[in-house]
Every structure is written in C-alpha cells, then in structure tokens.
Amino acid sequence: MPSSSKSEWLQGPYKKALERAPERKKVFETTGQHALDPVYTSDDFAPGEIEAGLGFPAEFPFTRGIQPTMYRGRLWTMRQYAGFGTAEESNRRYRYLLDQGQTGLSVAFDLPTQIGYDSDDPMAAGEVGKVGVAIDSIDDMLTLLDSIPLEKVTTSMTINSTAAILLSLYIAVGRKQGVEPAKLGGTIQNDILKEYITRGTYIFPPKPSMRLITDVFRYCADEVPQWNTISISGYHIREAGSTAAQEIGFTLANGIAYVQAAIDAGLDVDNFAGRLSFFFACHNNFPEEIAKFRAARRLWAKIMKERFNATNPRSQMLRFHTQTGGATLTAQQPEVNIVRTTVQALAAVLGGTQSLHTNSMDEALGLPTEKAVQIALRTQQVLGYESGVSEVIDPMGGAYYIEHLTNHLEAEATEYIETIDKLGGAMDGIEQGFQQREIQEAAYRFQREIEDNDRLIVGVNEFRTDDELPPEVMRVDPELGRSQAAKLQHLRENRDTETVNNLLAKLEGAAAGTDNLLPIILECVENRATLGEVSHALRRVWGEHKETVVV
C-alpha cells in the first residue's frame, strides 16, 4: 500500500531504505543552519497556505514576480560588470560586450574613484585602475562613454560615497551627446549603509552621507525620472559571509532606513519608492537562493504597504539586479567556476531577477580576460534562449520545498529586522556592531565547515588535482597612474581655474546649509572640476567617518 501521509512514509519506506544505505555524512541544512526534512509535502502546510502566499505575478505581495509577463515579455537585462585601467580601455571592453549581445552596461570604478581621490593624489598611489576604471573628470567620462548611445543603453554604476558626483558626470556627458536627463536610464548603487557594515569605502559620516542620498532622490524625481536612485545592496553583505536570511534581513533593514530618511526629508513615499532597486548575490545553494529572492520580494512588499503606507503598487515592488557569487569562485580548477556560475545564474532567473551579471571563471585570479567574459555572457544567453526556463512565469512556484524555504527565510529575515528595530534602526545597529558580528560569526562557521571537511568545495578540499596549468591572467599597466596624472595636469592647465574655485567655494557653502547639492555638483563637473576636488570640498565641511571597532 502506498503511504498516505508524510509521517507514514518517513517511518516506512524511508526508514527501511536508511537501514540498507545510511545517509552520507553531511549536515542537511540551509546556510543559516535550518535543519531540513528529507521531503516536503502538503502535510507541511496549513490548508490554502501555499496559495495565499503565492498570488499572481505583478500582484501583491509579488512572490511570483513583479511583471505580468516576466520573461515571456522581455528577458532580464544581461549586464556584465566591467571596468579597468583607463577610460579608453574600458570603453573598448564595453563596446565589445555590446557587440556580443550584452543589453546594458555595468561600470566598475577603481578604489581612488570610489573614495574620492584623483589619480594624482598620493593616497591613490598603486591603486589607479586596479579594481575598476579610473574616472577623474568629465574628460574621462566622455572617453568612457564614447560612441555609446545613452538614450538607448541603460547603465549601472557601482558607486557609493561618490555616487552623486558620478551621476552628475553621467548627466553632463548625456547633455554633451544631446540626451536630456529625463531620457537617461540606469542605476547608481548609492548604498552607503552597507559600506559601514562590510566594504568600508565610505568617506563622510553617516548623517551627511544620508543627506547626499536623499538629495539624489529629490533631484532625480524631478529631473531624471527614469533613473534608479539607489541599489540597496545585499551582495556585499553576502560576500562578506552572511547567510541567505541575513542577506535579506540586513538589506531590507537598510532599505527601511533609506525610505524613512527620505520621508523625514519631506518626500512622499509614492513619489520616490518606485525608483528604489536592490542588488543581491547568488551563491551555490540552488533551492535556497531561489527561495531567497521570492521571500525578499514578498517581505519588502509587506514592509512598504504596512509600515510606510505606500499605495502605488510600483512602490511596493522589489526590483533587483543579481550578480553571481564572487566569493564562491576558486583559484583552483578555475574552469569549474563556469559550472558554479551557471547554477547561480539559473537560480537568479528562477527567482525572478530583473538583470544579471555572471562572473567570469578567472576572477579569483585577477581581472577577467576577454575570453572568460564572453563565456560568462554566453552562459546567460544559453539560459535565456535555449533552456526553456523563460517560457513560464515562476516555474518553481508551488513546489513544496521552495515554498517551505520561502516561508522560513521570510520569517528568519523578519526576526533580524525586528531585532534591528529594537536597536534603533539600521544605523544604530551598525554603530553597535550587531550586523557586523552576525556576519562575522556566520562567515567563521562556514569556513570551519570547509576546513573540517563538513562542507565540500570541489577542487579545494575534495576532488583536487596536481597537474593544473596556471591560466592567462590579465594585468593592469603599472604606468597607468602616471598617464592619468598627466591628463589631470593638462586639464588643470586648460580650464577656467577661477570659475572652478568659485564653484567649489559655492559647494562648500551649500554643504554647510540645506540646499540640494546635485545642481551645484553638476555645475562643478561641467566646468571641469575633478572628482577629488569636489570630494575634498565636502570633506572640508563634513569631515571623514572613522571606522567603528567591533569586538
């Protein structure tokens, strides 16, 4: 007789099978140590529970996706993250990717650009062009975007502390191309809170940093309405070692802080919330990652509707970009990273991402080579055009295991948000070291599992080979710093210095007051003030943030 319930099956066929062949040695759990049952059935849910949590695509709570047609109407944007060396080199890479079928740009900036130093500043020594492209002025930005039609291509810029400056440079280039700001489409990351939690590329103290963000919200609502003014990032939280539930909880807690800051600054939630976007990582636990995206979407919809009284459905939607997990890539047997990236990309697609970057196989070794980038892009194209996963909306919806994980991750993330609320909100939690400690503990636990062989990583602690040949690694020209310095010298000798100095003084005065800073920053960069000069003007007024030591 077939089993009539889950418990009967567990005590019958499953138990007998274990007696013949015990389960392999492994802890069956999620990244957050949630123990998993061998199988999930309708017995694990209350009557109607699955249907109540699902709904339909593009309808609250958006578990199944934010668009009525999803990929049947339009595939996700294939947006490969790239940027290195000079603006000329990066421009060639962007045009190559567009020729290969990429549908959106994603710009990586070097460390000096990220933290507000020109390439000829002593603080930039040895870092110019290393982890992204060096952008010092409008001249570099014009070169970076040369022959790229900004009215047709959307651009994502991974930039935070200097986001307002880079956005201003982008608007200025658009104007020179004859493209009005209202026609520009794209995203700036502009997420400073996660910098205080994980990455550390902050400049200013939290309060003025939040002011810059809300100034961007306000300016773009009026002048650049198609621009996504923030990409609230769980990616760096996950890459630092968080669990999937922590990634959701800490990211949405940061989102709550940004929404509240904008409301406190006098903005109406339905006038800006529709331009908020999110950015998540996708790691190797395939079912958990699919459920993570669905849980985040559902939880954010509830937060916006119930906490902030957002009435416009677009304000309740969690729109997100995904990047496959850089921290999951291995230097050992780098070709195996193609498989990891494919699994992660498929999870992101099945989770309903709006755009996707697939990492290149050689990124654990250095900047990606052109061949590796092409394979990474082709991975997305195979998923989009050959796999069949885009033919049906939310193909995993209703699967017992996926629905169980979705419910569990939503509940665990909600607990984190409630804890952060009790601490006073995201910034207070950061200042007390709560999020940092939780991530550090999760990262330590994960690494111990690898070192104890409880968690297998192919090529690292199992299935190793000794005959690996080192792959080609891309190198950045060490002379780059000097060439950028020469460009800056030429710029300073051929601009109206008095006008620039007057505008920088005007910016300092505005920073000490309450005026929106975007129009002034835009005027500065259009008159060839450099990124470092604008940043230093703000430093003189606001000072710099010093890291909170977490014990």
pLDDT digits (tens, 9 = 90+) for 240-289: 999 999 999 999 999 999 999 999 999 999 999 999 999 999 999 999 99
Nearest to 184 by CA among 192, 194, 176, 195: 176
- Containing H/E element for 141? helix 138-144
DSSP letters, 51-106, are HHHH--TTSTT-TT-SSSSGGGT-PPEE--EE--BSHHHHHHHHHHHHHTT--SEE
**Peptide bond before residue 61 is cis, with ω within 30 degrees of 0:** yes
CB-count burial class (<10 Å; 0-12, 13-18, 19+) for 15: exposed
Q: What's the CA angle centered on 244, arms 155 and 70, to 5 degrees?
A: 50
Query: How far is residue 473's CA from residue 372's CA, in Å, rounded to a whole number?
Result: 10
Query: How far is residue 15's CA from residue 13's CA, in Å, rounded to a whole number?
Result: 6
CB-facing half-sphere around the CA of 272: CA atoms within 13 A: 27
Is position 48 within any domain?
A: no
71 is in which domain, residue-wise?
63-451
What is the structure's pLDDT at 103?
81
Is position 251 within any domain?
A: yes
CB-count burial class (<10 Å; 0-12, 13-18, 19+) for 498: exposed
Query: What would the pLDDT profile of 193-246 be if each residue is shown by its tens digit?
Result: 999 999 899 999 999 999 999 999 999 999 999 999 999 999 999 999 999 999
What is the structure's pLDDT at 102?
85
Query: How far is residue 403's CA from residue 396's CA, in Å, rounded to a whole number?
Result: 9
Query: How far is residue 230's CA from residue 276's CA, in Å, rounded to a whole number?
Result: 6
Is position 544 within any domain?
A: no
What is the structure's pLDDT at 3?
86
Query: How far is residue 116's CA from residue 162's CA, in Å, rounded to a whole number?
Result: 6
Residue 107 near residue 85 (C-beta atoms within 8 A)? no
Query: How far is residue 529's CA from residue 501's CA, in Å, rounded to a whole number?
Result: 8
Tokens of 439: 């991530």
Is position 442 within any domain?
A: yes
Q: Return the SS3 of 399.
A: coil
Sign of CA pseudo-dihedral 513, 515, 516, 518: negative
Residue 243 near residue 291 (C-beta atoms within 8 A)? no
Q: What phi and psi values does residue 389 have, to the nearest 5 degrees?
A: -75, -15
Is position 537 within any domain?
A: no
Q: Return the SS3 of 20.
A: helix
Is position 486 within any domain?
A: no
Q: Return the SS3 of 534.
A: helix
Is position 473 within any domain?
A: no
Is position 364 within any domain?
A: yes
Question: What pTM did the predictor assign?
Answer: 0.92
Please report, as a single letter, which amino acid is at residue 451.
E
**C-alpha to C-alpha distances, 256 to 210, 229, 431, nearest whole angstrom:** 13, 15, 17
What is the structure's pLDDT at 538?
98
DSSP letters, 168-213, are HHHHHHHHHTT--GGG--EEE----HHIIIII----S-HHHHHHHH
Q: How many domains does the chain have?
A: 1
What is the structure's pLDDT at 551?
55
b/e per residue 431-454 (b: at least 16 CB within 10 A): eeebbbebbeebbeebeeeeeeee
Residue 535 near residue 203 (C-beta atoms within 8 A)? yes
H-type alpha helices, 265-390:
269-272, 286-302, 313-316, 336-350, 370-385
Nearest to 155 by CA among 177, 129, 124, 131: 177
Query: What would the pLDDT profile of 429-488 be if each residue is shown by its tens digit?
Result: 999 999 999 999 999 999 999 999 989 999 999 999 876 656 666 666 777 889 999 999
Q: Report the CATH number at residue 333.
A: 3.20.20.240
> What residues contact 69, with CB distance under 8 A and at least 6 apart?
57, 393
The 3-state secondary structure of 476-492 reads CCCCHHHHHHHHHHHHH
Tokens of 527: 């008159």
What is the structure's pLDDT at 25?
63
Q: Tell me, what DSSP letter sits at residue 221?
A: H
Q: pLDDT (tens digit, 0 to 9) for every residue of the chain, 551 residues total?
A: 688 899 999 999 999 999 888 877 666 889 999 999 999 999 999 999 999 889 999 999 999 999 999 999 999 999 888 888 889 999 999 999 899 988 888 899 999 999 999 999 999 999 999 889 999 999 999 999 999 999 999 999 999 999 999 999 999 999 999 999 999 999 999 999 999 999 899 999 999 999 999 999 999 999 999 999 999 999 999 999 999 999 999 999 999 999 999 999 999 999 999 999 999 999 999 999 999 999 999 999 999 999 999 999 999 999 999 999 999 999 999 999 999 999 999 999 999 999 999 999 999 998 888 899 999 999 999 999 999 999 999 999 999 999 999 999 999 999 999 999 999 999 999 999 999 999 999 999 999 999 999 899 999 999 998 766 566 666 667 778 899 999 999 999 999 999 999 999 999 999 999 999 999 999 999 999 999 999 999 999 999 998 766 55
